[in-house]
């Protein structure tokens, strides 16, 4: 028996599971199939891993993405090749764009059949898994033989630690094979950030901050690492600079902080817009932020017309910046840079004049407790849930209300896939996140359109007893599309949806369902749902006209006007 146990440890499937466990992963999200039987069974029998079988491969990928975001660690998705790989591919692209470290493992037929037209073939004459993943996330590795495993594991570990997704193909026979020799990595840990570069950039930033009278900080989601978040908080507290965040970085410093302006860009707060775009602000320090279309109010020219913009990031700048700034710096560690700047400012404080100017007043967001609207639902949900509540926001008109009315009071508690905004992402991501942080309350704000995409994954939440409250803004249509339709016919055909009774659907898969149509019934349903041990769905019946917020600061344009874009720039 001892000999057999020792041999099992050298099987590729076992080695892979031990590696995954060593990454700090506790739950693996998957859809089973013959190509991955050996590794799937190993996951099921592993002492440190828990398999979560999703309804759909894309749902499994989104769950792994949510797990990684909530844990600030790595997510893992395992599917077959062919259709499974094709279904999960969009999730890998979302993870790449948002810099979320997710490991995508896909299977394949046995290696001796790799040149044959086999069932669910993944080669060039089949689904082309490797080509597609390489195009989608700039990475794909194949364990063509057991001896390749160690090298590929080391490569993928570096990818994941760099906040990028990784893709590994492991054929069926290789999963069952024995690793005769598993070479350990000879890499030694080193400080990747060049200290001389940090000092040089830090001195430049400090010099500009000292010259500015009304500087503001704009923070993106890429500061969501434990070190960077801590350094950011200390920097803000010492510098006393007012700050705003991107939509998906809401709460990186709690929004009840006295220096918080709220979020800027898509669904931005009045306070953030008026402060940053106002004539007073003379320096904008941008940290780990995409500076993209929706992050900037469609590249509002006031951002860079009369002020200096400093862009600092850990990734390569993918856009032309000539018209925005000549102060764009890439550093190995934003945390190291902020630590240096904070130390210098602590010794010699900034001479700002924000205290003389006074803070820009926030808009009055009080809502009468009479009319059931999306704004009201978001506001009341925030007031009725604990401080540590994780909110997951899907694509749709409700997304704007969440940006304005949800005040994130804890770091890494507000989640949205902002850059690509895939419909139904929040439904799945919340399941992964709740498994990563089981003690935090989890709310999903979604719409009936998104439910048509991935609502079936609520059955997965029920199966694994993942307590989540799914709040569905049920306006029987795509409220964000309807205003763009020029005729009643096009609106009916493209924006309106037939009724689905989501509360009854929830009951059919084992969740608790509520259907509400008034403020009073919503409050009662929410309180009951928060006390239940199982997932629950609250179907909030709202009309088209009441499903979009009245407090959007900047007119919502789908695309920038021609005048917004410099045709000599890639912006």
∠ CA 145-171-103, rounded to 5°: 100
Banded pLDDT at 5 (limits 50, 70, 90): very low
The neighbouring-strand residues paired with 28 are: 51
Alpha-carbon separation of residue 500 from 16, 55, 455, 521 (angstroms): 43, 20, 12, 20
Pairing of strands 102-108, 50-53: unpaired
pLDDT at 487: 87
Q: Are the beta carbons of 146 and 178 closer than 8 angstroms?
A: yes
Please check whether residue 187 is in contact with residue 154, taking contact to mean a CB–CB distance below 8 angstroms.
yes
Q: How are beta strands 414-415 and 469-474 bridged, if at all?
A: unpaired
Cα gap 285→231, rounded to integer Å: 15
Q: Phi and psi for 311 in degrees, rounded to 5?
A: -105, 125
Q: Work out the burial of residue 341: count CB atoms within 10 Å of its CB; fewer than 13 is exposed, 13-18 middle, 19 or more buried.
A: buried
The Cα 447–Cα 475 span in angstroms is 8
Domain with CATH 3.40.50.1220 in the chain: 195-357
Whether 558 shows a pLDDT value over 80: the answer reads no
By the 8 A CB rule, do 401 and 230 touch?
A: no
Number of Cβ atoms within 10 Å of the Cβ of 139: 18
**447 and 472 Cβ atoms separated by less than 8 Å:** yes
The domain 195-357 is placed in CATH, from the list 3.40.50.1220, 3.40.50.300, 1.10.287.70, 3.10.310.10, at 3.40.50.1220
Cα 328 to Cα 36, 99, 332, 472: the distances in Å are 45, 20, 14, 41
Contact in structure between 553 and 269 (CB atoms under 8 Å)? yes
Tell me how far apart the alpha carbons of residues 131 and 124 are, in angstroms, rounded to a whole number: 8
Q: How confident is the model at residue 441 (pLDDT cuts 50, 70, 90)?
A: very high
Q: Can you give the pLDDT at residue 313?
A: 92
* Burial group, residue 523, by CB count within 10 angstroms (0-12, 13-18, 19+): middle
Which helix H or strand E contains 435, and what residues bound it?
A: helix 425-436
Long-range contacts of 128-136 (CB under 8 A, 24+ apart): 129/81, 129/82, 129/85, 129/86, 129/169, 130/169, 132/85, 132/86, 132/89, 133/85, 133/89, 133/92, 133/104, 133/167, 134/167, 136/89, 136/92, 136/93, 136/96
Report pLDDT for 32: 93
- What's the average model confidence in pLDDT over 542-571? 62
Structure confidence at residue 381 as a pLDDT band (50, 70, 90): very high
Top CATH class of 2-176 equals alpha beta
CB 425 within 8 A of CB 62: yes
Q: Mean pLDDT in the chain?
A: 88
DSSP symbols for 499-558: ---HHHHHHHTT-EEEEE-SHHHHHHHHHHHHH-SS-EEEEEE--GGGSS-S--SS---S
Report residue 512: phi and psi, to 5°: -90, 130
Q: Which one-letter DSSP state was computed for residue 124?
A: T
Please state the rounded mean pLDDT for residues 563-567: 56
Q: What is the pLDDT of residues 154-184, one digit of tens each?
A: 999 999 998 999 999 999 999 999 987 665 5
Q: What is the pLDDT of residues 327-360, one digit of tens each?
A: 999 998 899 999 999 999 998 888 877 765 555 6
- Residue 426: which pLDDT band, with cuts at 50, 70 and 90? very high
pLDDT digits (tens, 9 = 90+) for 39-69: 999 999 999 999 999 999 999 999 999 999 9
Ramachandran class of 265: left when φ > 0, alpha when ψ lies in -120 to 50, beta otherwise? left
Give the SS3 label for residue 61.
helix
Which stretch, 174-188, 269-283, 374-388, has highest mean pLDDT?
374-388
Q: How many CA atoms lie within 13 A of 377 on its CB side?
A: 35
Percentage of the chain lying above the pLDDT 70 cut: 89
Predicted local confidence at residue 364, as pLDDT: 66
Fold of the 374-546 domain? Rossmann fold (3.40.50)
**How many other CB atoms sit within 10 Å of the CB of residue 219?**
27
Give the Å distances, CA to CA, from 280 to 259, 349, 355.
16, 20, 13
- For residue range 283-333, what is the model confidence (pLDDT) as tens digits? 999 999 988 888 887 778 888 777 789 999 988 877 767 778 889 999 988
CA distances in angstroms from 415 to 259, 390, 392, listed in the order given: 22, 7, 5
The pTM for the full model equals 0.92
Domain with CATH 3.40.50.970 in the chain: 2-176, 374-546
Contact 266, 295 (CB under 8 A): yes
Quickly state the pLDDT bin for 393 (edges 50, 70, 90): very high
CA dist 414 and 396 (Å) reads 16
Residues 296, 302, 308, 310, Cα dihedral to 10°: 0
pLDDT in tens, 398-418: 999 999 999 999 999 999 998
- Indicate if the pLDDT at residue 187 is higher than 80: no
Contact between 539 and 515 (Cβ < 8 Å): yes
Phi, psi of 207 (to 5 degrees): -60, -45
pLDDT digit string, tens, across residues 105-153: 999 989 887 777 778 888 888 899 999 999 999 999 999 999 999 999 9
Most confident of 307-316, 379-388, 485-494, 550-559: 379-388
What SS3 string covers 18-58?
HHHHHCCCCEEEECCCHHHHHHHHHHHHCCCCEEEECCCHH
């Amino acid at each position: 028996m001892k000999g057999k146990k020792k041999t099992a440890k050298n099987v590729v499937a076992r080695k892979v599971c031990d590696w995954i466990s060593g990454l700090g992963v506790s739950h693996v999200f998957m859809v089973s199939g013959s190509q991955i039987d050996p590794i799937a069974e190993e996951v099921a029998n592993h002492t440190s891993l828990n398999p979560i079988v999703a309804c759909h491969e894309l749902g499994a990928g989104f769950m792994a993405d949510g797990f990684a975001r909530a844990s600030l660690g790595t997510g893992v998705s395992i599917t077959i090749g062919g259709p499974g790989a094709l279904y999960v591919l969009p999730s890998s692209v979302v993870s790449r764009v948002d810099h979320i470290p997710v490991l995508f493992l896909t299977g394949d037929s046995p290696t001796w059949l790799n040149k044959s037209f086999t069932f669910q073939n993944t080669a060039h004459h089949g689904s082309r898994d490797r080509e597609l993943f390489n195009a989608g996330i700039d990475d794909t590795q194949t364990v063509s033989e057991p001896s390749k495993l160690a090298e590929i594991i080391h490569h993928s570990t570096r990818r994941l630690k760099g906040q990028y997704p990784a893709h590994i193909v492991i054929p069926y026979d290789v999963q069952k094979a024995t690793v005769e020799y598993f070479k350990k990595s000879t890499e030694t840990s080193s400080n990747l950030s060049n200290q001389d570069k940090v000092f040089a950039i830090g001195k430049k930033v400090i010099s500009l901050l000292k010259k500015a009278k009304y500087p503001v900080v704009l923070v993106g989601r890429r500061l969501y690492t434990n070190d960077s978040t801590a350094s950011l908080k200390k920097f803000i507290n010492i510098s006393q600079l007012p700050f705003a965040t991107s939509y998906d970085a809401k709460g990186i410093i709690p929004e009840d902080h006295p220096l918080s302006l709220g979020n800027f860009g898509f669904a931005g707060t009045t306070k953030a817009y008026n402060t940053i775009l106002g004539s007073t602000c003379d320096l904008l320090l941008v940290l780990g932020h995409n500076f993209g279309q929706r992050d900037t109010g469609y590249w509002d020219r006031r951002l860079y017309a009369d002020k200096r913009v400093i862009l600092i990031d850990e990734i390569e700048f993918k856009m032309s910046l000539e018209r925005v700034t000549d102060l764009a710096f890439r550093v190995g560690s934003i945390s190291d840079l902020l630590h240096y700047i904070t130390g210098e400012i602590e010794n010699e404080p900034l001479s700002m004049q924000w205290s003389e100017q006074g803070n820009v007043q926030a808009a009055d967001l009080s809502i009468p407790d009479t009319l059931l609207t999306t704004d009201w639902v978001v506001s009341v949900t925030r007031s009725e849930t604990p401080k540590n509540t994780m909110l997951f926001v899907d694509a749709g008109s409700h997304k704007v209300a969440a940006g304005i009315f949800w005040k994130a009071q804890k770091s890494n508690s507000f989640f949205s896939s902002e850059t690509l905004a895939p419909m139904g992402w929040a439904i799945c991501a919340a399941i992964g996140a709740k498994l990563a942080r089981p003690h935090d309350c989890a709310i999903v704000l979604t719409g009936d359109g998104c439910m048509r995409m991935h609502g079936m994954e609520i059955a997965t939440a029920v199966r694994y007893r993942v307590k989540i409250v799914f709040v569905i803004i049920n306006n029987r249509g795509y409220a964000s599309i309807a205003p763009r339709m020029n005729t009643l016919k096009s609106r009916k055909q493209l924006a309106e949806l037939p009724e689905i009774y989501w509360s009854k659907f929830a009951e059919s898969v084992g969740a608790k369902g509520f259907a509400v149509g008034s403020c009073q019934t919503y409050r009662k349903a929410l309180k009951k749902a928060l006390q239940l041990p199982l997932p629950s769905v609250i179907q909030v019946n709202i009309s088209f006209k009441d499903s979009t917020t009245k407090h959007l600061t900047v007119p919502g344009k789908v695309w920038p006007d021609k005048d917004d874009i410099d045709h000599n720039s890639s912006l």
